[in-house]
């Protein structure tokens, strides 16, 4: 018997170990498989579609009124089924309010970043980085995985981050880090688009207008960003031009520096009627094109829980991409820049080959109105500047200044009038101080000045002051006021001049001047009487 089994050595089947029986697949709940068969019923050809999604679907449909390129949007969410990333959502809710102290940068990389993949040091730095970003500080160093992790929080926590706040955060992250990490243009252009579609938001072109020229080519569904022909956001016109034109006006020789804002304003303003005309005539669409349909899962290449992950279906009108349309828009854009160069007195011009006469008329009409308004404003500004030269100076009246002007006027008069004429001129004029005299220190009768040969200048000059002091000594307020009026001087001025005299004589003033009036200081009554006696 043993001899019969001696050739068993060559039996390969006996040498191979027996394979273990496979265990049944682990399931959390019952799963269903849906089978769909599509065919035209004529050719006999059919397409088999196998769906492994579990549970029922919830569908919502709407029409975005702000974008006429999109005809209808359907968002289909699925209920039930196994949620592979539910643990991430629970962790995100747990860590949402965590704020770490300032921590050193620690590099972190993962294809699908999650909290469970991070070390303690990486978590500390991420929570510190996130707190700074929430405060508007984007200066900290980051890795793309940190950035994507924050995006996943925005996508998966709508109850913590409302959609209107989330879109602002997404666009700001995009703007701040796209130059540091250029690869994010490819993903953010889709995620931002899907975020708006799922949450029924308008395209955020105003939030990304400063770089929409650079990212429009990265967008897989360009029509989402290019539906603003009738929008008030001029940046959507910029987006259309970046898509439909072969010429980038920003790179022009004369479009930079101080003229950049003027170029941007008038290029967008002049091309708007051209694009609207093309839109209304259907020239922006592909010839004989029907409505196209886009169907895919939202937020591709991102971490989304089952409650957020959904399928979007979009019916839209595709923008034309023919060479003829691009040539037409490019020619119109170059013609607009030629008009601007002419306005700036620049002699060089761009070559324009395929300019349509209709587009030319629309552009010329825009600039005719724009230049008319500009010329009108310039003329009004010039007229206002000219008329301002004849405006009366806006300043308070100065009695001292008026006295000085009058003094200079009379001095010139004495130089121009002969001596004989001075003796015969009889005029009633307020006394004007001559050179080397105190201003307005003469009497009411100008004849005394002109015929001054017979009188003492000192005696006549002191007469109003003596009369004022005499009235003050007897307490006659009315006489004091009358003397000041006859001298064409305020009573306070006469009192101050008397005070100046006594400051030199006795070292103190004899009149107290206050809001209540002018009063003689009784302590100096005798000094005032002595001075009056000395003057007579």
Q: How does the average pLDDT of the chain come out, rounded?
A: 77
pLDDT at 300 over 90: yes
pLDDT digits (tens, 9 = 90+) for 488-523: 788 888 888 888 888 888 878 888 887 768 888 888
Mean pLDDT for 136-145 is 95
* Cα gap 18→501, rounded to integer Å: 135
> Which pLDDT score is estimated for 345?
84
CB 444 within 8 A of CB 462: no
**What percentage of the chain has pLDDT greater than the value 90?**
31
pLDDT at position 440 is 41
Residue 533 backbone dihedrals phi, psi, to 5 degrees: -65, -35
Going by C-alpha positions, the residue among 20, 178, 153, 52 that lies closest to residue 93 is 153
For position 139, what pLDDT does the model report? 93
Q: How confident is the model at residue 170 (pLDDT cuts 50, 70, 90)?
A: very high
Percent of the chain's residues with pLDDT above 70: 70
Residue 191, pLDDT score: 95
**61 — pLDDT class (breaks 50, 70, 90):** very high
Length of the chain: 536
Residues 4-24: pLDDT tens digits?
555 665 666 666 666 655 544
Quote the pLDDT of residue 395. 57
pLDDT of residue 206: 85
The span from the CA of 274 to the CA of 244, in Å, is: 12
Q: Which long-range contacts (CB under 8 A, 24 or more apart) does 478-486 make?
A: 480/518, 486/443, 486/444
Does 276 score more than 70 pLDDT? yes
| Alpha carbons 298 and 313: distance in angstroms, whole number | 10
Among 81-90, 151-160, 406-415, name the one with the lowest average pLDDT: 406-415
pLDDT (average), residues 355-370: 91
Whether the pLDDT of residue 171 is over 70: the answer is: yes
Res. 412 pLDDT band, cuts 50 70 90: low
For the ranges 107-111, 131-135, 223-227, 456-460, the lowest mean pLDDT is seen at 456-460
User: How much is the pLDDT for 301?
Assistant: 92
DSSP at 19? P
User: Is this model's pTM higher than 0.85 or not?
Assistant: no
pLDDT the model gives residue 135: 94
**Strand ranges, E, within 386-526:** 511-514, 517-520
CB 443 within 8 Å of CB 463 = yes
Look at residue 497 in the predicted model and tell me its pLDDT. 87
> What backbone torsions phi and psi does residue 511 show, to the nearest 5 degrees?
-115, 135
159-163, 210-214, 314-318, 351-355 — which is least confidently predicted? 210-214
Contact call for residues 291 and 317 (beta carbons, < 8 A): yes
Coil, strand or helix at 316: strand
């Amino acid at each position: 018997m043993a001899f019969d089994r001696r050739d068993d050595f060559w039996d390969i089947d006996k040498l191979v170990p027996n394979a273990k029986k496979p265990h049944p697949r682990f399931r959390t709940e019952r799963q269903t498989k849906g089978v769909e068969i599509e065919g035209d019923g004529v050719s006999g050809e059919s397409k088999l579609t196998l769906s492994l999604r579990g549970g029922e679907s919830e569908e919502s449909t709407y029409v975005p009124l702000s974008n006429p390129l999109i005809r209808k949007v359907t968002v289909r969410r699925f209920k039930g089924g196994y949620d592979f990333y539910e643990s991430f959502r629970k962790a995100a809710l747990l860590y949402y309010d965590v704020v770490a102290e300032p921590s050193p940068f620690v590099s972190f990389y993962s294809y699908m970043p999650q909290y469970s993949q991070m070390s303690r040091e990486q978590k500390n730095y991420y929570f510190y980085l996130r707190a700074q970003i929430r405060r508007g500080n984007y200066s900290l160093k980051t890795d793309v995985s940190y950035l994507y992790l924050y995006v996943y929080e925005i996508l998966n926590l709508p109850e913590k981050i409302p959609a209107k706040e989330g879109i602002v955060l997404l666009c700001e992250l995009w703007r701040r880090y796209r130059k540091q990490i250029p690869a994010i243009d490819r993903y953010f252009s889709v995620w931002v688009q899907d975020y708006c579609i799922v949450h029924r938001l308008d395209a955020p072109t105003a939030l990304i207008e400063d770089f929409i020229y650079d990212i429009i080519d990265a967008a897989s569904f360009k029509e989402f960003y290019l539906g603003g022909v009738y929008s008030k956001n001029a940046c959507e016109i910029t987006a259309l031009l970046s898509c439909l034109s072969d010429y980038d006006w920003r790179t022009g020789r004369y479009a930079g520096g101080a003229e950049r804002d003027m170029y941007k304003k008038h290029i967008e303003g002049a091309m708007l009627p051209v694009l609207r005309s093309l839109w209304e005539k259907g020239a922006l669409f592909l010839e004989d094109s029907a409505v196209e349909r886009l169907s895919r899962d939202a937020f591709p290449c991102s971490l989304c829980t089952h409650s957020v992950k959904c399928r979007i279906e979009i019916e839209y009108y595709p923008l034309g991409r023919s060479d003829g349309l691009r040539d037409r828009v490019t020619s119109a854009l170059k013609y607009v820049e030629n008009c601007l160069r002419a306005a700036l007195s620049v002699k060089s011009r761009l070559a324009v080959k395929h300019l349509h006469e209709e587009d030319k008329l629309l552009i010329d009409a825009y600039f005719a109105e724009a230049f008319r308004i500009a010329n009108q404003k310039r003329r009004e500004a010039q007229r206002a500047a000219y008329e301002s030269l004849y405006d009366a100076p806006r300043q308070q009246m100065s009695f001292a200044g008026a006295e000085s002007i009058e003094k200079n006027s009379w001095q010139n008069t004495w130089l121009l009038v002969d001596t004989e004429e001075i003796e015969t001129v009889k005029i009633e004029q307020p006394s004007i101080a001559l050179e080397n005299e105190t201003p307005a220190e003469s009497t009411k009768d100008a004849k005394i000045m002109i015929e001054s040969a017979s009188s003492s200048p000192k005696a006549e000059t002191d007469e109003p002051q003596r009369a004022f002091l005499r009235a003050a000594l007897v307490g006659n307020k009315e006489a004091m006021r009358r003397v000041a009026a006859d001298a064409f001087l305020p009573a306070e001025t006469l009192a101050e001049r008397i005070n100046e005299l006594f400051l030199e004589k006795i070292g103190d003033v004899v009149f107290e001047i206050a809001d209540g009036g002018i009063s003689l200081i009784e302590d100096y009554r005798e000094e005032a009487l002595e001075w009056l006696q000395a003057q007579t």
